[in-house]
A and B are shown apart, each in its own frame.
Chain A
């Protein structure tokens, strides 16, 4: 069959609204999680992290929520701005293999 490109899911939000980006992680033993932002033409950049002994962490305009029961991670962006348009990746770290495992990525598109 014909190969198709990796179509990332897209979240479209109005400028000024709050955004919620969700991620399901795979390993219940993961003990550290990071959200990365990748703008066009750049490498992924750190946004915020959270350890497994926490369920919420806040940064500047961003909040990460962790639900270990259902292995779910979310990134909330308050008052979304055009500069927030990017691909967002969640990543999980498991001490056993000493490396991050990245999710597929979600595209955030901000409408002016």
Chain B
């Protein structure tokens, strides 16, 4: 298995632009998580899905952030409009707790820089 795949690996954009981050979870995993990591706040859970349905989006910072999971193999995290304080590394992770293993497999992350 190729693991959790995120794209792009790096994104540099100007303030005010729309940014879309993409994630392909591991096949068969029914949970998908979006995290943000910064020096200020560490690893923060933004939102997670179960069977493509958003379960908890209480970590989404504000209305500028939105996430979708149109099918079991794809999710997007969108920021519109982007701001410099959104600069961070964004991780996607997936899991399948029905196997008895509750851990998450993380992607390599997208490093977002908003200038």
User: Which residues 24-47 of B sit at the A interface, judged by CB distance below 8 A?
Assistant: 33, 38-43, 45
CB contacts under 8 Å to A, within B79-109, are 91, 93, 97, 101-109
Contact of B103 among A3, A46, A104 (CB under 8 A): A46
Give per-residue flags for A21-54: 1 if the beta carbon is below 8 A from chain B beta carbons, else 0: 0000000000010100000011111100100000
Q: Indicate if the CB atoms of A42 and B104 lie closer than 8 Å.
A: no
- Within 8 Å by CB of B108, from A42, A46, A93, A98, lies A42
Does residue A99 face the partner (Cβ distance < 8 Å to B)? Answer: yes
Within 8 A of B (CB), among A63-105: 89, 91, 93, 98-100, 102, 104-105
Contact B103 A99 (CB under 8 A): no
Q: Give how many A residues have a beta carbon under 8 Å from the other chain's beta carbons.
A: 21
B102 in contact with A93 (CB, 8 Å)? yes
Number of B residues, CB within 8 Å of A: 25
What is the CA–CA distance of A49 and B100 in the complex, to the nearest angstrom?
12
List residues of B (47-86) whose CB comes within 8 Å of A's CBs: 48, 50, 55-56
Return chain B residues, CB-CB under 8 Å to A42. Answer: 108-109
Say if the beta carbon of A112 comes within 8 Å of chain B.
no
Q: How far is the CA of A93 from the CA of B97 in the complex (A)?
A: 11
**A49-B101, A99-B48 known; A43-B109 Cβ under 8 A:** yes
The residue that A6 contacts in the complex, of B4, B42, B97, with Cβ under 8 A, is B42
Query: Given the complex of chains A and B, what is the CA–CA distance between A12 and B91 in angstroms?
Result: 27
Interfacial chain A residues near B108, Cβ < 8 Å? 41-43
Q: How far is the CA of A102 from the CA of B42 in the complex (A)?
A: 10
Contacts A89-B43, A99-B45, A99-B48 given; does A43 touch B107 at CB 8 Å: yes
CB <8 Å contact, A6 and B103: no
Q: Give the 3 A-B residue pairs with the shortest CB-CB distance, closest first.
A: A43-B106, A5-B39, A93-B102
Q: Could you tell me which A residues sit within 8 Å of B by CB distance?
A: 3, 5-6, 32, 34, 41-46, 49, 89, 91, 93, 98-100, 102, 104-105
Q: Which chain B residues have a beta carbon within 8 Å of chain A's beta carbons?
A: 4, 33, 38-43, 45, 48, 50, 55-56, 91, 93, 97, 101-109
